[in-house]
Structure 1
Amino acid sequence: MFRNTITYILLFFIFLLTFSCKDNVLPKPASYLRLDYPEAEYDNFENDCPFGFEINSKAIIKADKNCGFSISYPKMKATIYLTYKPVNGNINSLLRDAQKLTYEHVIKADDILEQPYLNPDKKVYGMFYQVNGNAATNSQFYVTDSTKHFITGSVYFYAKPNFDSIMPAASYIKNDMQRLMETLKWK
């Protein structure tokens, strides 16, 4: 009987040692998909409108009414919307509307960075806005020659605004928007 008791105790300790050494279960941390995009290549875009610019060869451009354009990035689920308006002595009103559109995002934005753009050789003047935070748009701009032409542009993603998850795509498209501004020329 004593021998059976020792055997049971020994089996009990072996059982205890075998099943008591588990790894601690930790919750999986939140993570985001890493997105890498190819190097941008640009093509010259011209049509009957009074301006031209360079566009990313991966983007799809579609003409809208009154020389407006939709530049879509299907893989990133984003579109840049360009709006053209002629200047007829209403430059102050156009500038005020463009700035108002940007600052309507201040409720959701953490920060709005303004970057002036001046190219006196091509007579292109404007402002580029980078909106940081969970706003509906991450980048906006306007350009004008102050006398005849005025263009606004903004990017929108077809996803719930979460700046951390769309940051790689937003950065890629921001570079395309800046390239568009820098290469814009009036006819």
Structure 2
Amino acid sequence: MKLPVINSFLFLIVLGFFSCKEETVPKPASQLRLEYPAPKYTELTTNCPFSFDVNTIAQLKNNSCSYEIQYPKMKATVYLTYKEVHNDIDKLLQDAQNLTYKLHTLKADDILEQPFVNPNKKVFGMFYKVGGNAATNALFYATDSTKHFMTGSVYFYAKPNYDSILPATQYVQDDMRRIMETMKWK
């Protein structure tokens, strides 16, 4: 009878030894925190009939007064397209609005229109903020209504997941607003 008592006693000691560890708790899923430097702007002066401020961290490519403003760390590019107005302002405005609504209504959760008016510099336009997993999260057009017309849109080279790229979209949207606000026609 002594053997089962000793075995039971040893079993309890071994069990107590292994059961006194801290309880393992799984760590919650972490999220990547995207932080970008405070923007610094410089005026982009060109031979084209306009100028505007551009973020110094961006890389520029020029193609006949149309620009690609690239943000390599964010995998984003803002495409700016300039056109001269030749009595076709209605068509240019309609094309800009169609680009926003026809191409993005399927994936967009909402489209917020923000009119822009600067009568001193004769810059009038619309900024579109697109919510949801659309191909682009922001578009704009700016014009003086008689000679100049510019459109801009941002594209991220990643699968559209609005929540994941939100800090980058807000950063680039602020830069796009700055382009509109500092636009000067020559």
TM-score range, shorter chain: over 0.9
Kindly indicate whether residue 94 of structure 2 is the aligned counterpart of residue 84 of structure 1.
no
What is the CA-CA distance between 1:7 and the residue it aligns to?
1.2
TM-score (normalizing by structure 1): 0.93
Q: Deviations over 1:117-136 (max 9, x none)?
A: 00011100000011111111
2-structure distance, mates of 1:126, 1:78: 23
1:31 deviates by 3.4
**Aligned counterpart, 2:95:** 97
The alpha carbon displacement at 1:148 in A equals: 0.6
| Distance verdict in 2 for CA 1:89–1:21, change over 3 Å | farther
1:43 partner letter? T
Q: TM-score, normalised by structure 2?
A: 0.93
CA drift of 1:30 comes to: 4.0
The residue aligned with 1:42 is 41
- Measure, in 1, the Cα distance between the counterparts of 2:145 and 2:162: 34
Q: Which 10-residue stretch deviates more, 47-56 or 28-37?
A: 28-37
Given the superposition, is the C-alpha separation of residues 113 and 20 from structure 1 closer, same or farther in structure 2, using an over 3 Å criterion?
Answer: same
1:180 is aligned to 2:179: yes
Q: 1:18 to 1:100 in 2, by over 3 A?
A: farther
Aligned length: 184
Q: Secondary structure at the match of 2:164?
A: helix
Q: Which residue identity is paired with 2:110?
A: D
Distance 2:56 2:69 in 1: 11
C-alpha distance in 1 between matches for 2:20 and 2:131:
47
Q: 2: distance between equivalents of 1:4 and 1:167?
A: 68
1:157 corresponding residue in structure 2: 156
Shift of 1:5: 1.0
Asked if 1:17 corresponds to 2:16, the answer is yes
Q: Distance in 1 between matches of 2:153 and 2:167?
A: 17
SS state of the match for residue 51, structure 2?
strand
Cα distance in structure 2, aligned partners of 1:29 and 1:150: 50
